[in-house]
């Protein structure tokens, strides 16, 4: 008899991979049964619907990203180095991604333009978490005297995230690291400009 928790994990892992490589709409429950070896009944015992599975799969992919990023950021000693940890993650992603198919947030965001309200809500939750993480780094930097209080925090947060996501998209499409490397070099000057002078 299969362990229900292991069954759920297997379904999540396999479906997350399929959704992120084939697309959410293009992936059917039949595709997932083939990948997992489980019946539709087994899948629906763990997830209420395909939409519910999509939401949890995206959540799992994003958790992997935040877990890795969180360790690197926490280990960095100051504001500038914490952003270097973020830049390193995005640059290395081109060579050794944690999951196939590209950035799960961007992939989901593209598809939710055409509907999928539960997936849209989950993608928005992930984006908000990412924005809050960058915002917290700025707030902590100000409190620690590393960043000038005159920084436009919201503009900074949006510029960093939009630039990195766009750089990853272009690098993936063109099959080369140059776009993300160029973006990171620019963002380094943006971050450096916020450092409070002694």
**12 falls within a domain:** no
Render each residue's pLDDT in the chain as its tens digit; 198 residues: 468 889 999 999 999 999 999 999 999 999 999 999 999 999 999 999 999 999 999 999 999 889 989 999 999 999 999 999 999 998 887 776 667 777 888 888 888 876 788 899 999 999 999 999 999 999 999 999 999 999 999 999 999 999 999 999 899 889 899 999 999 999 999 999 999 876
**Tokens standing for 191?**
């971050």
Q: Into how many domains does the chain fold?
A: 1
**14 falls within a domain:** no
Q: What is the pTM of this model?
A: 0.88
Q: Which residues of 138-161 are buried (b: 16+ CB within 10 A; e: fewer)?
A: beebbeeebbeeebebeebbeebb
What dihedral angle (degrees, nearest 10) is formed by the CA atoms of 83, 87, 90, 92?
A: -130
**31 falls within a domain:** no
**24 falls within a domain:** no
**32 falls within a domain:** no
For residue 173, the enclosing domain spans 50-192
**37 falls within a domain:** no
Q: What is the pLDDT of residues 12-64, one digit of tens each?
A: 999 999 999 999 999 999 999 999 999 999 999 999 999 999 999 999 999 98
Predicted pLDDT at 2: 65
**168 falls within a domain:** yes
Q: Is the dihedral of CA 113, 117, 118, 123 positive or negative?
A: positive
Q: Where are the alpha helices (DSSP H) in the chain?
A: 4-22, 29-36, 40-46, 50-75, 79-93, 104-111, 117-143, 153-174, 178-192
**25 falls within a domain:** no
Q: Return d(Cα 35, Cα 29) in angstroms, integer.
A: 10
Q: Return d(Cα 4, Cα 12) in angstroms, integer.
A: 12
Predicted pLDDT at 56: 94
Can you give the CATH number for the domain in which 161 is found? 1.10.357.10
């Amino acid at each position: 008899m299969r362990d229900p928790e292991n069954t759920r994990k297997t379904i999540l892992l396999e479906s997350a991979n399929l959704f992120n490589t084939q697309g959410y709409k293009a992936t059917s429950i039949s595709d997932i049964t083939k990948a997992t070896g489980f019946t539709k009944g087994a899948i629906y015992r763990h997830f209420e619907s395909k939409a519910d599975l999509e939401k949890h799969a995206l959540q799992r992919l994003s958790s992997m990203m935040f877990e890795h990023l969180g360790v690197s950021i926490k280990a960095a000693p100051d504001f500038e180095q914490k952003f270097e940890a973020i830049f390193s993650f995005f640059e290395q992603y081109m060579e050794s991604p944690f999951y196939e198919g590209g950035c799960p947030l961007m992939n989901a965001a593209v598809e939710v333009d055409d509907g999928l309200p539960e997936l849209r809500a989950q993608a928005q939750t992930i984006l908000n978490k990412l924005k809050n993480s960058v915002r917290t780094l700025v707030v902590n930097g100000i409190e620690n005297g590393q960043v000038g209080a005159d920084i436009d925090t919201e503009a900074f947060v949006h510029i960093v995230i939009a630039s990195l996501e766009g750089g990853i998209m272009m690098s993936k499409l063109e099959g080369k690291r140059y776009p993300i490397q160029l973006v990171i070099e620019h963002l380094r000057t943006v971050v450096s400009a916020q450092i409070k002078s002694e």
